[in-house]
Structure 1
């Protein structure tokens, strides 16, 4: 049995509610949410377990919508990872540390107003966008929301069933999502109906299939969030800079945003 954890001024102690293993190297889990915990869709928070001398903490994007009474997270499994080697073994009823101060730049406040919002993710970079696409305010800010999830294997497409159904079971956004939300999964190492990395989808025009507006990215109308592999983020950010997009922040909204805390 896991020993009881002790809260602190910076950390609360929360109970694991559910765990889902998507495949051998990907899992998601939900924990209790403190009544005082507030966050903006797209933000991240510190999650952890006891270490040798102090808590072992890592930043995790919150995947659940801001109105949920639980907090959900998506994680890879790293066999030798100091935290994930232990975290992947958690069971409902176990306890975790939760930071008290969520933060981040993958939020609508860091973007200028626009018409189309492109959420471009690889791997577990999907997590903050799961929160954003279930935020009713996002559907008020943008006419079209496009979520791209690029992975190596089909089994890596976590939450695919929910997203392919256009959030049909979400009580707050299901009606808007049916009209405004598009999900584009793409797989790079197995046969799938859409293949190729995100830059290839942009170059070929596949990214814009079924959308209103131009078949290219336009800083006048398009807003972009990037989350996932550092190589993808660096390459695309450089491409966007080259066609007139400006990176935004909480202090100065722009045309696209990345999570600097994860990229470095």
Structure 2
């Protein structure tokens, strides 16, 4: 793997252990929103690196939305970084969780838990989703309201695009203003999610899902009962999935 030095330009802390690093890395090759890069650091026992979805389109400044894994080796080190510090960034991105691998449809659903929101922020900052889809709905599931990152930017999309854009936060462990209570799958089963979105999951939907593997599997089961299936080049469907672990 080829590396390039990245310099931390900005650190935005959303909640304790939940943050975005804006990294200047002009030598990173062009990539599609939704792909991931590796971040790495030299350690006494060798070079430690992990993949992270980029929360911005390609450019000299790249955003990474990260949560500290308490017993992890790399994320606690990334949490300590401040503007001016350096980190290694892979020169080439990878991954197929992109709009170019999605079917055409009327509605685009962007469903995530935790930092799975990152690739959607990158996509929404470009013109492509707005050109391809009539309506876009972002669903972000978290445990606590403090974990609802990127709220001002998502609100700005609503202000700009009106009824073409819906942002639905879902908070499972406490009551939160404007958020649906419970888990994303529960909100689909009880009908509250589609009611808030004012649209339904149909065969004229593209449904992207990124985050907790349990949520992804449950979502596939629920949507499968409605006759919706994974999208494949030779077998068109509605569902496109990114598994973090």
Task: Give the TM-score, by structure 2 length.
Answer: 0.90
Say if 1:109 and 1:253, in contact at 8 Å, map to a contact too. no
Alignment of 1:248 onto 2:231: yes
Alignment of 1:12 onto 2:25: no
Say if 2:99 and 2:129, in contact at 8 Å, map to a contact too. yes
Alignment of 1:216 onto 2:207: no
CA–CA separation in structure 1 for the residues paired with 2:197 and 2:168: 12
Say if 1:111 and 1:253, in contact at 8 Å, map to a contact too. no
Alignment of 1:92 onto 2:86: no
Deviates more, 1:83-92 or 1:195-204: 195-204
Partner of 2:72: 81
CA–CA separation in structure 2 for the residues paired with 1:130 and 1:104: 16
CA drift at 1:130: 0.8
Structure with the largest fraction of strand: 2
Alignment of 1:139 onto 2:130: yes
CA drift at 1:245: 2.1
Match of 2:14 among 7, 22, 27: 22
Alignment of 1:200 onto 2:186: yes
Work out the number of aligned pairs and report it.
Answer: 243
Alignment of 1:102 onto 2:93: yes
SS across alignment from 2:108: strand
SS across alignment from 1:65: coil
CA drift at 1:179: 4.3
CA drift at 1:167: 6.3
CA–CA separation in structure 2 for the residues paired with 1:55 and 1:38: 24
Gaps of 5+ in 2: none
Task: Give the TM-score, by structure 1 length.
Answer: 0.84
Partner of 2:218: 235
CA–CA separation in structure 1 for the residues paired with 2:88 and 2:146: 29
Alignment of 1:71 onto 2:62: yes
CA drift at 1:166: 2.1
Root-mean-square deviation over aligned CA pairs? 2.1
Partner of 2:172: 188
Gaps of 5+ in 1: 1-8, 169-173
CA–CA separation in structure 2 for the residues paired with 1:161 and 1:113: 28
SS across alignment from 1:189: coil
Partner of 2:150: 159
CA–CA separation in structure 1 for the residues paired with 2:32 and 2:12: 24
Deviations 1:172-214 (A, max 9, x none): xx4xx334221111111111132121112222333234656xx
